[in-house]
């Protein structure tokens, strides 16, 4: 095999291996998965995966579970729960909330889509209508509470994962409503104050709101069942030792949901709660995600070997620095810390100045775009500080660079489409996922592509023009660029979660949502560093890598965020 084909072929091979593993796990024991669209309120179309266990049909209906993800997630994030529910004989409808994934915007509308999801689940002739459970994580909990309000007699039990009743999100909880409810609230949940008005997740049992739900004035004891299952007044609090998003990667948290539905729903297949295989699906989609990055790099190498893009081939000359001095380290440190230092205020200001509109209809995407543009300017100014670095000359061939970026990302997008079509998976780990765009998201993409392109052009020019070192090996160059782009976020998040695990509090306790959003920056900027370094080493230009990353990151963000404004 010619050298220019090797990385390209390796990327496809890794993707195939990961996809096969993920697909085999989610369809184990002959579970079938259907990709559905169904009617919601006010003419909206909602999206879901339907997991159907073997032997289930209209003559042999099974208990059903409606599973709904949290804010700025999608149906795929619930796969750990859905796989294990289906393995135990439950028909599972894992749906995209309104305005998320492939469900029509706007987000937050019509009970977050929860009532329509329950109505659709009950309409299926393969579902035992007398044995329906509801499970929702975070804002998905509010969606199932909306369903329980709209159809108070149409479900038997529910699990609130990292979620809560009352406080304007639903009717207040009482000893009779909702029916047979398990509250799974993690000891290190970042939203303890928002959800249950307590300082720490481990103190949820002291919440006045929770006590009202449980019908007690004493501290709620985790694991103790209050009320009675036959009367549908049972309540239990579980407190796994994880974080809010960590519920999805916790055998303990998922096991609590399995235990509760095993006690409250009739007709499931008895399996021990610790008999779980979902983590192998996570390994499969993570492998496919790694293969995706290899494929993008391999596509660059393959395309540069063709006559159409041969003019882009070049070897970088001298770096900005002859060796790493204290001034170089100072510049690296500032480059890594400035984007982190301004993260929270810029996210707030971006929300206030841009928010969601017909042009920029996704609030968090708008906030990140604002952060990106400001940091692109700041990093450019930083590169002009007289710290002693030399000037790096770049080659600029704009049209071939644009075409190279379109072709590279197009090949990657084709791989994602194939995995979705053939295996019903996307490329992800946890809530960091690369998935196909909906038609609505495709319409949204160009508006966000502009600020992200500006950011990457400015930021990667500053990176390769300000921190490159003459004579660096490939390993040192990759390491330096990873530190510059992702190092600051990595260190800060280690401090954040070190504080949370040691004291029960984040360093920024009023920023739980943006802290969770920040978690995605580490893998995302690491991918950016790999792609940009790989491309720069073969073209001596920051432009092709900047354009590839702008397309990829814009796609990733738009496909993964909630759409608050109807398009």
**Can you give the length of the chain in residues?**
567
| Per-residue pLDDT, 207 | 97
pLDDT digits (tens, 9 = 90+) for 393-407: 888 899 999 999 999
**Domain boundaries in the chain?**
31-274, 309-560
Task: Over range 47-64, report the average pLDDT.
Answer: 97
Please check the confidence at residue 167 and state whether its pLDDT lies above 90.
no
Task: Over range 254-263, report the average pLDDT.
Answer: 98
pLDDT digits (tens, 9 = 90+) for 217-256: 999 999 999 999 999 999 999 999 999 999 999 999 999 9
Please check the confidence at residue 189 and state whether its pLDDT lies above 80.
yes
Task: Over range 261-281, report the average pLDDT.
Answer: 96
pLDDT digits (tens, 9 = 90+) for 316-336: 988 889 999 999 999 999 999
pLDDT digits (tens, 9 = 90+) for 280-328: 999 999 999 999 999 999 999 999 999 999 999 999 988 889 999 999 9
pLDDT digits (tens, 9 = 90+) for 476-489: 999 999 999 999 99
| Per-residue pLDDT, 356 | 83
| Per-residue pLDDT, 317 | 85
Please check the confidence at residue 169 and state whether its pLDDT lies above 90.
no
Give percent of the chain with pLDDT exceeding 90: 91
Q: What are phi and psi of 73, to 5 degrees?
A: -120, -165
DSSP 321: B
**Number of CB atoms found within 10 A of residue 157's CB:** 24
The residues near 528 (Cβ < 8 Å, ≥ 6 apart) are 456, 485, 549, 553
pTM: 0.96
Alpha helices in 483-520 (DSSP H): 488-503, 512-519
pLDDT digits (tens, 9 = 90+) for 66-89: 999 999 999 999 999 999 999 999
pLDDT digits (tens, 9 = 90+) for 401-438: 999 999 999 999 999 999 999 999 999 999 999 999 99
Please check the confidence at residue 193 and state whether its pLDDT lies above 70.
yes
| Per-residue pLDDT, 170 | 87
pLDDT digits (tens, 9 = 90+) for 7-46: 999 999 999 999 999 999 999 999 999 999 999 999 999 9
- Using 50, 70 and 90 to split pLDDT, how confident is the model at 1? low
- Report the C-alpha gap between 72 and 261 in whole angstroms: 26
DSSP three-state, residue 407: helix
Computed over every residue of the chain, the mean pLDDT equals 95
The residues near 142 (Cβ < 8 Å, ≥ 6 apart) are 112, 114, 136, 163, 169, 170
| Per-residue pLDDT, 67 | 98
Q: Is the model more confident about 391 or about 200?
A: 200
DSSP three-state, residue 145: helix
Burial class of residue 386, CB neighbours in 10 A (0-12, 13-18, 19+):
exposed
DSSP three-state, residue 250: coil
Q: What is the CATH number of domain 31-274?
A: 3.40.50.1820
Task: Over range 335-360, report the average pLDDT.
Answer: 94
pLDDT digits (tens, 9 = 90+) for 136-149: 999 999 999 999 99
Contact, 202 vs 213, CB < 8 A? no
């Amino acid at each position: 095999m010619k050298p220019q084909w090797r990385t390209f072929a390796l990327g496809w091979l890794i993707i195939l291996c990961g996809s096969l593993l993920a697909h085999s796990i989610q369809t184990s024991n002959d579970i079938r998965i259907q990709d559905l669209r169904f009617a919601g309120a006010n003419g909206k179309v909602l999206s879901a995966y339907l997991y159907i266990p073997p032997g289930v049909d209209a003559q042999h209906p099974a208990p059903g579970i409606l599973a709904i993800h949290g804010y700025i997630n999608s149906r795929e994030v619930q796969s750990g729960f859905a796989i294990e529910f289906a393995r135990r004989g439950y028909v599972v409808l894992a749906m995209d909330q309104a305005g998320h994934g492939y469900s029509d915007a706007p987000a937050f509308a019509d009970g977050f889509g929860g009532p329509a999801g329950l109505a659709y689940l009950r309409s299926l002739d393969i579902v035992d209508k007398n044995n329906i459970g509801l499970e929702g994580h975070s804002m998905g909990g509010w969606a199932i509470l909306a369903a329980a309000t709209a159809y108070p007699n149409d479900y038997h039990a529910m699990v609130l994962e990292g979620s809560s009743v009352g406080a304007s999100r639903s009717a207040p909880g009482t000893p009779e409503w909702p029916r047979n409810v398990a509250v799974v609230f993690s000891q290190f949940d970042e939203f303890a104050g928002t959800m249950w008005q307590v300082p720490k997740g481990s103190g949820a049992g002291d919440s006045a709101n929770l006590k009202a739900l449980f019908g007690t004035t004493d501290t709620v004891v985790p694991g103790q069942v209050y009320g009675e299952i036959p009367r549908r007044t049972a309540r239990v609090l579980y407190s796994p030792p994880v974080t809010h998003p960590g519920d999805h990667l916790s055998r303990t948290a998922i096991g609590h949901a399995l235990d509760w539905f095993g006690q409250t729903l009739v007709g499931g297949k008895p399996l021990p709660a610790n008999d779980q295989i979902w983590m192998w699906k996570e390994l499969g989609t993570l492998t496919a995600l790694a293969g995706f990055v290899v494929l993008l790099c391999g596509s660059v190498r393959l395309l540069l070997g063709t006559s159409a893009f041969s003019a882009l081939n070049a070897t970088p000359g001298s770096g900005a620095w002859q060796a790493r001095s204290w001034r170089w380290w100072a510049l690296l440190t500032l480059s890594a810390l400035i984007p982190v230092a301004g993260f929270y205020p810029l996210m707030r200001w971006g929300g206030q100045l841009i928010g969601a509109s017909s042009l920029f209809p996704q609030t968090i995407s708008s906030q990140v775009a604002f952060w990106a543009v400001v940091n692109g300017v700041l990093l450019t100014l930083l590169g002009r500080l007289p710290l002693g670095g030399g000037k790096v000359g770049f080659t600029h061939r704009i049209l071939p660079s644009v075409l190279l970026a379109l072709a590279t990302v197009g090949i990657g997008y084709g791989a994602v489409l194939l995995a979705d079509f053939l295996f019903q998976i996307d490329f992800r780990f946890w809530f960091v996922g690369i998935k196909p765009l909906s038609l609505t998201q495709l319409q949204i993409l160009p508006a966000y592509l502009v600020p992200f392109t500006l950011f990457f052009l400015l930021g990667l020019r500053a990176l390769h023009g300000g921190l490159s070192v003459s004579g660096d090996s490939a390993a040192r160059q990759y390491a330096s660029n990873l530190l510059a782009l992702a190092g600051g976020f990595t260190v800060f998040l280690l401090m954040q979660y070190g504080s949370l695990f040691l004291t029960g509090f984040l360093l920024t306790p009023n920023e739980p949502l943006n802290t969770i959003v920040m978690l995605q920056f580490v893998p995302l900027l690491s991918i950016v560093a790999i792609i940009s370094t790989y491309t720069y080493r073969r073209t001596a230009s920051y432009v092709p890598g900047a354009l590839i990353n702008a397309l990829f990151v814009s796609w990733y963000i738009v496909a993964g965020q909630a759409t608050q404004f109807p398009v």
